[in-house]
Structure 1
Amino acid sequence: MPDRRGVGSRMSGDLDRDRLSALWQHQYPKGPPIAHELRTAYSDRWIRFHSLPGSKRYPETEDEHAVVLHRYNTVLDELFAGTDIYVITVAWSWEPDGPERPPRRHEVHPEGTRWTTLAYEDDPDLELHSYTHLYADRRPWRPGTADGILREVADDALSGVIITDSGLTRIHHPYDGGADVIATSSAERDRMRDSHQDWLPRNPAGL
């Protein structure tokens, strides 16, 4: 298991970094906020939706981008209508405060404040150490509020994005091709599944 220790960073803006960290540890004690790991850790509450008909991975036209954004926003609205959300984006670097990749993260999420950094330092080769930086902002949810970030995700320009409510009770992780949802319960997950049968993966594993 990689060493993913929180590396301190300054709080700025309105982000209560300590509250967010404590809340994450309470709600998701099985691991850090690494989006692609959540579906395994919380598989009893997990469901995946695909972004385009026929499980097509990437949109190629504006009409297909519109379909992708419609599906993202429909599910997000079911999860977060009437609430505030945290939008969390991710960058990586080879040094704790070195140049971050992808540079577009800051361009599309300038509101994000450094929440925490996860250090991968267990490898004896120092050149293989890396750092994952998570940036967050809190905003009222409304359809379209995260479209700039969602479009970058759909085009595989950003990854690791998490959208969650202010209490971290539900998770939406958009990726290039769809979205993983961690619901509050298996019953809630099943209701979402039944509401969007046409958006579900066709393979038995639900991927």
Structure 2
Amino acid sequence: MKRFIDEWKGYFGDLPPYSHYLRNVMPERWVRFHALPDAKRYAETPEEEAIVFDRGRILGNRILKEGQKCLFVEYFPNFEEYPLPYSHKLLDQFRLKYWFKWKYEEDPFGEQETIGFYGNEVRWFPEVYRGAFKDAAHDDERFLLMNRESSRILAPYDGGFDCFLLNEEEVTRLKSEFEEWLSPCSSGL
């Protein structure tokens, strides 16, 4: 795991691989897209689950590039001691190894969260992540994928996708390309 830590730090310094935190400290690199039309938060039908996957696939291909090496990082909040995941599904599927834990002292809800991070190298082939996207969309899993060559990030969550690009120009282009998917909280950038 040391090489992943060194690689992450080479791109992001001491920032943790936690999308909720990254969007607050790197707003110029961040954009958020809804996973479903009309800003619907949760998929209730197989057709809606297909839309969530399709949007994740499309954004992932733009940001991560199919077949590219990525760092897969899963994180688990609210563990005081050695953090253990609340699901072993992704841990086992992607052979994730414990990376480190981090205390989120600036939590907007006024709590200090301890977050455990697990990671491994993967390749971006969208179909591999169909189940993971479905679980993230239901807030059963929390993870991000970072392209190891570019440092671009795709982070699904329950309701959409947080995307971290290289600069404001890339963010502007992606917003323009997928304007109908934009979250209102992304429109101010």
Give the letter for the 2:171 counterpart.
R
Give the letter for the 1:170 counterpart.
R
Q: CA deviation at 1:130?
A: 6.7
Residue 21 in structure 1 maps to residue 5 in structure 2: yes
In the superposition, the TM-score normalised over structure 1's length comes to 0.78
Structure 2: segments with no counterpart, 5+ residues: 106-110
Q: Which whole-Å deviations, capped at 9, do the CAs of 1:111-163 have from their partners, x for residues lacking one?
A: 233242224398xxxxx98742211122221121211211110011112x111
The structure-2 alpha-carbon separation of the partners of 1:206 and 1:149, relative to structure 1 and needing over 3 Å to count, comes to: farther
Aligned to 1:191: 173
In the superposition, the TM-score normalised over structure 2's length comes to 0.84
Residue 37 in structure 1 maps to residue 21 in structure 2: yes
Aligned to 1:154: 137
- Total equivalences in the alignment: 181
Give the letter for the 1:158 counterpart.
E
Instruction: Judge conservation of contact 2:97–2:120 (CA < 8 Å) in 1.
Output: no
104, 114, 119: which one aligns with 1:136 = 119
Instruction: Judge conservation of contact 2:71–2:145 (CA < 8 Å) in 1.
Output: yes
Q: Which whole-Å deviations, capped at 9, do the CAs of 1:68-109 have from their partners, x for residues lacking one?
A: 110011000111224111221123533226xx241x2x1233
Tell me how far apart the structure 1 counterparts of residues 81 and 12 of structure 2 sit (CA, whole Å). Answer: 27
Give the letter for the 1:96 counterpart.
Y
The structure-2 alpha-carbon separation of the partners of 1:37 and 1:198, relative to structure 1 and needing over 3 Å to count, comes to: same
Could you tell me the percent identity over the aligned residues? 25
Structure 1: segments with no counterpart, 5+ residues: 1-16, 123-127
Larger Rg: 1
- Give 4+ residue runs of structure 1 displaced > 6 Å after superposition: none
Higher helix content, 1 or 2: 2
Aligned to 2:108: none
Tell me how far apart the structure 1 counterparts of residues 157 and 149 of structure 2 sit (CA, whole Å). Answer: 22
What are the equivalent positions in structure 2 for 1:86-125 lying under 5 Å apart?
A: 86-92=71-77, 93-96=79-82, 100-102=84-86, 104=87, 106-110=88-92, 111-120=94-103
Aligned to 2:69: 84
Which moves more between the two structures, 167-176 or 54-63? 167-176
The structure-2 alpha-carbon separation of the partners of 1:119 and 1:190, relative to structure 1 and needing over 3 Å to count, comes to: closer
Q: Which whole-Å deviations, capped at 9, do the CAs of 1:27-85 have from their partners, x for residues lacking one?
A: 11252222211111111111110000000000110100000110011000111224111
Residue 74 in structure 1 maps to residue 74 in structure 2: no
